[in-house]
Amino acid sequence: MPFYLIFTTPLGHMALIYRVTPFMVIKILLPGQDKEGLVNAAEIFGRQHTGFHDNAFRVKESITDYFKGNPISPPWEWLEMGGLTKLQQSVLETTADIPYGDLKSYKDVAVAVGRPRAYRFVGTTLANNPFPILIPCHRVIRSDGSFGRFGGGSDMKQKLIELEAG
């Protein structure tokens, strides 16, 4: 049974959807919706229950630290990546390695995963990133320097990049 934890960030409420046994983060919903909207969005994952789990609180605190300007690392052991292909996982791992405040292009990520012409695949994978903020897909931009798409919208992507720029 999935649970959710809703918390506040400077950009609005976010939701962490997780299961308890074993503890795994299933999805992170970006800020921008009101609390009720997040609860409704969480229903996609089945009947949800608000809950509290020590590890969920740790993940929430990590995301909260990010919004305070602190670099964070994904808790890989708690991220449910079983539904992703090895190549998709590689794209997410490579993206997570982009240092705080840096930007890379979709092509840079494609080259790093050994598929230099798969920049559209990289874009599609990042568009479906289940763990935004923890896996900083906002740090990946187009080769021409434009932002490209982002699940939270281009304004949020710009705000996240500006946050990291200091």
Domains of the chain in sequence order: 2-76 (3.30.160), 81-165 (1.10.10.10)
Residue 141 near residue 163, CB atoms below 8 Å: no
Task: Please tell me the distance from the alpha carbon of residue 45 to that of residue 19, in angstroms, as a whole number.
Answer: 11
Rounded to an integer, the average pLDDT of 41-46 is 72
Residue 4 forms beta bridges with which residues? 17, 50
pLDDT band at 51 (very low <50, low <70, confident <90, very high): low
Task: Please tell me the distance from the alpha carbon of residue 84 to that of residue 73, in angstroms, as a whole number.
Answer: 20
Residue 63 near residue 133, CB atoms below 8 Å: yes
Report pLDDT digits (tens) over 3-32.
888 899 999 899 999 999 899 999 999 987
Q: Give me the sign of the Cα torsion angle 80, 84, 87, 88.
A: negative
Q: Give me the sign of the Cα torsion angle 59, 60, 62, 63.
A: positive
Q: Which residues are catalytic?
A: 137
Examine the pLDDT at 104 and tell me if it is beyond 70: yes
Largest CA distance in the chain: 44
At 65, which helix (H) or strand (E)? Answer: helix 54-67
Percentage of the chain surpassing pLDDT 90?
73
Residue 79 forms beta bridges with which residues? 25
